[in-house]
Amino acid sequence: MDATLELALDLMRRSSITPEDAGCQEAMLARLAALGFRIERLRFGEVDNFWARYGDSGPLFAFAGHTDVVPPGPLDQWQSPPFAPEIREGYLYGRGAADMKGSLAAMITACERFLAACPQPRGAIAFLITSDEEGAAVNGTVKVIEALEARGEKINWCLVGEPSSAHQLGDTVKNGRRGSLNGRLLLCGTQGHVAYPHLAQNPVHAVGAILNTLADEVWDQGHAFFPPTSFQISNLHSGTGAVNVIPGDLEMLFNFRFSPAVTIEQLRERTRLMIDTCLLNEEVKTGQVFQYDLEWSLSGMPFFTPPGDLAAAAMAAIRAETGLAAELSTSGGTSDGRFIAPTGAQVIELGPLNATIHKVNERVAVADLERLSRIYEGVLIRLLGKTQKCRP
């Protein structure tokens, strides 16, 4: 069993459901301390984080990631227990295999090999690890970055180990992500008996036009490096559970994944105008007047790293290990890279296949773990290799 697989198994056996770390960080810190990293444990609220650094001068390269995982879901649908990782037919199964304990293991073993060959690199290496990425993300990476910024410690290059690959390991490198804006619409009607609809106002009936209008809207045409903004309804709640009661209110939760082609203010204002128009039409048609409340929360702004040293090093390392010409992409959700990029760091995401993340029977190809570790090592060599022995 190779070192990367062995460490991945150790991390995956720990039930680190957000925001629990379950000892994953201490397992990583033991390996990093043995290499000579200076360790800072940074706990904010109920969230464990750490910052570990090797070297004092030169450009700073950081690995970033998270030890927390999403809940496993229905246990009876797993072919093997989610926190008892199992290898079957060349795949490692278990929660966190791809997102992202496999990546964390690959980062550690990549550093171990690199520093064995190049103990005095031409810069510094760091790890920024949180247990709050899959949750609220308020006491994790964002707080660590605030602490680093307060003392003037700057990351030059950051590789986030999110599962970026689509079909083959290394076929996609994320160099940016769309922003995420959440909305909550509370539509207020009047509760009543279904036999006397003239004495009630049914918000479920009134929301139909709002749903269609928002879902059909083209919010923008995208951006030079970003796909168009998307709108999705994530939750819709109304009613008491009784079959003979007209509900008095309705709650709708929705999300925009937005490109830099549109601003937060534009999305909010256009949404409000569409709701107003739909409810005015409802008043004209039925004579019923509905009140509403609209609340917003921002999960993250879009971020983008133009092709530069970091992306070039990653793509060269991927080609050397796999023969693939990786694609730079900004598709998909968001990540903790949104907290790191605003500091001026070059940020990319590079990790295993993402086809099974957050799903039952999450898995990663066993062979891909060691290959990913070699790719990470190749990035370190290209950016921080000091002597001919540790250059590509």
d(Cα 110, Cα 26) in Å, to the nearest integer? Answer: 18
Comparing C-alpha atoms, which of 287, 344, 342, 280 is closest to residue 310?
344
Q: What's 201's DSSP letter?
A: B
Q: What is the residue whose two structure tokens read 């530069």?
A: 308
Q: What's 168's DSSP letter?
A: S
Extended beta strands in the chain, E state? 38-44, 47-54, 60-66, 86-88, 91-93, 124-130, 157-160, 172-174, 176-177, 179-188, 192-193, 230-238, 245-246, 249-258, 291-300, 303-304, 327-329, 346-349, 363-365
Which pairs from 163-167 meet CB under 8 Å and 24+ separation? 163/98, 163/99, 163/100, 163/103, 163/351, 163/352, 163/353, 163/354, 163/357, 164/329, 164/349, 164/350, 164/351, 164/354, 165/351, 165/352, 165/353, 165/354, 166/353, 166/354, 166/355, 167/353
The burial class, CB within 10 Å (0-12 / 13-18 / 19+), for 344 is exposed
The burial class, CB within 10 Å (0-12 / 13-18 / 19+), for 57 is exposed
DSSP-based three-state secondary structure for 81: coil
Catalytic residues: 68, 133
